[in-house]
C-alpha cells in the first residue's frame, strides 16, 4: 500500500502513543517513528516466529500492525500499567491472535521458555534494573529464540540533533516533547564522548504509584549492548531511521540477539529495506 493516509475508523489512531508519534503534526517526527515500526516488522518477517512477546507494548500499535501480516504469529503484549493493558484489550480485542497482560504475569511458569521472539522497542532506556529484565528475557525465550531490541541513541552527534529537535518541538507543542532534560556542561560533554564503559548521570523520576523510571537523559546504548552481549549472542547491530547510518549516527540502535550460536541468515543484508507496512485493516497505508 502506497498511501500514508489513515482513516478515522482506525483503532490504532486512538492509542496514547500513536496519537503523539505516528499522527504527530510534524512530518519528520511521524516519519521517524513510522520507520521504527517498519524496521521491526521487517525483522519479524525474516524470523517468522510462531509465538512472539512484545515486552513493553505500549498502546499495542506494533502488534496491531503485525496482526495485518499474511503470516501472523500468536502474539502477547505486556505492559506494567494496568490501564494501558485494559485499553489495548478494548481497542484491539477483535484481533484473535493478540493477547495483552501485565508484565508481572510473565513470571508465571506457563511463560517460561515459551517465546520464539521477544520484541522490546524503546523500553529499556527507561528501566532502572536493566540486568533483571535481561535475565528475565533469558527465562522467557526458547532455546534458539531471538531478541529484537531497539533503544534511542542519546550519545555523540545524535544527542546534539535530538536536543535541538526536542526543544523546537516543545516550543511548537508537538509530539511528546513539552521540554528537554537539562544537561550540565560536563554531563553533555560526557554524553557526547561516551564509550561502552562510561556511566552517565541518569535522573530517576517516579510515577504516581511511586515506581521509578529514567527519561532519556544519560542513556548509553553502548553500555546496554555490552550487558546484552554478556547474556546472548548479538548477531546484528544497526541504526535507524536511515539504512545507511550506523547507531553512532542514527536516531535508534537496534540489536538482534540469539539464545544459541545460530546466526540469522542474511538479516544484515535484508533488514534495511522494509516493505510498505499497513497500520490496520482500515488503512490504505515514530525521534
Q: Which of 10-24, 32-46, 167-181 has the lowest mean pLDDT?
A: 167-181
* Sign of the alpha-carbon torsion through 83, 30, 254, 45: positive
Report the pLDDT value the prediction gives residue 113, as an integer from 0 to 100. 96
User: For the chain, what is the radius of gyration of the CA atoms?
Assistant: 18
**Contact present, 252 and 239 (Cβ < 8 Å):** yes
Span 120-129, pLDDT tens digits: 999 999 999 9
Q: What is the mean pLDDT of the chain?
A: 83
Three-class SS state of 166:
helix
Q: Give the Cα separation of 230 and 233 in Å (integer).
A: 8
Domain 11-270 indexed as CATH 3.40.50.970 = no
**Contact present, 10 and 34 (Cβ < 8 Å):** no
Residue carrying the nine cell digits 489495548: 88
* Sign of the alpha-carbon torsion through 202, 78, 16, 23: positive
Hey, how many other C-beta atoms are within 10 angstroms of the C-beta on 15?
23
As given in the structure block, the three cell numbers for residue 252 are 535508534
% the chain with pLDDT above 70: 80
**Using N-to-C axis directions, what is the helix angle for 185-192 and 156-172, rounded to 10°?**
130
Decide: residue 110, CB within 10 A, 0-12 exposed, 13-18 middle, 19+ buried.
exposed
pTM of the model: 0.83
Q: Report the pLDDT averaged over residues 221-244.
A: 92
User: Which regions of the chain does DSSP assign to beta strands (E)?
Assistant: 51-55, 74-79, 98-102, 115-121, 141-152, 204-206, 212-214, 233-240, 252-258
Which 8-state DSSP code applies to residue 275? Answer: P
Span 65-103, pLDDT tens digits: 898 887 788 999 999 999 999 999 999 988 889 999 999
The end-to-end CA distance of the chain, in Å, is 24
Report the pLDDT value the prediction gives residue 282, as an integer from 0 to 100. 33
**Contact present, 160 and 55 (Cβ < 8 Å):** no
Amino acid at each position: 500500500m502506497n498511501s500514508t493516509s489513515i482513516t478515522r475508523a482506525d483503532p490504532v489512531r486512538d492509542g496514547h502513543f500513536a496519537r503523539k508519534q505516528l499522527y504527530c503534526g510534524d512530518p519528520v517526527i511521524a516519519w521517524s517513528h513510522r520507520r521504527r515500526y517498519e524496521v521491526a516488522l521487517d525483522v519479524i518477517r525474516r524470523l517468522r516466529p510462531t509465538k512472539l512477546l512484545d515486552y513493553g507494548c505500549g498502546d499495542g500499535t506494533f502488534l496491531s500492525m503485525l496482526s495485518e501480516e499474511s503470516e501472523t504469529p500468536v502474539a502477547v503484549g505486556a505492559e506494567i500499567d494496568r490501564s494501558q493493558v485494559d485499553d489495548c484489550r478494548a481497542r484491539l480485542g477483535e484481533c484473535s491472535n493478540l493477547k495483552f497482560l501485565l508484565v508481572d504475569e510473565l513470571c508465571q511458569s506457563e511463560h517460561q521458555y515459551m517465546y520464539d521472539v521477544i520484541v522490546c522497542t524503546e523500553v529499556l532506556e527507561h528501566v532502572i534494573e536493566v540486568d533483571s529484565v535481561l535475565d528475565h528475557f533469558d527465562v522467557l525465550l526458547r532455546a534458539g529464540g531471538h531478541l529484537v531490541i531497539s533503544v534511542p541513541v542519546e550519545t555523540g552527534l545524535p544527542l546534539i540533533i535530538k536536543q535541538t529537535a526536542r526543544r523546537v518541538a516543545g516550543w511548537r507543542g508537538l509530539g511528546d516533547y513539552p521540554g528537554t532534560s537539562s544537561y550540565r556542561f560536563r554531563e553533555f560533554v560526557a554524553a557526547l564522548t561516551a564509550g561502552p564503559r562510561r556511566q552517565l548521570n541518569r535522573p530517576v523520576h517516579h510515577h504516581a504509584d511511586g515506581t521509578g523510571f529514567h527519561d532519556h537523559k544519560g542513556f548509553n546504548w553502548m553500555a546496554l549492548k555490552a550487558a546484552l552481549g554478556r547474556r546472548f549472542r548479538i548477531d546484528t547491530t544497526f541504526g535507524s531511521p536511515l539504512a545507511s547510518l550506523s547507531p553512532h549516527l542514527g536516531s535508534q540502535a537496534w540489536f538482534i540477539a540469539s539464545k544459541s550460536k545460530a546466526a540469522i541468515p542474511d538479516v544484515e543484508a535484508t533488514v534495511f529495506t522494509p516493505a510498505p507496512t499497513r497500520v490496520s485493516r482500515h488503512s490504505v497505508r515514530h525521534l
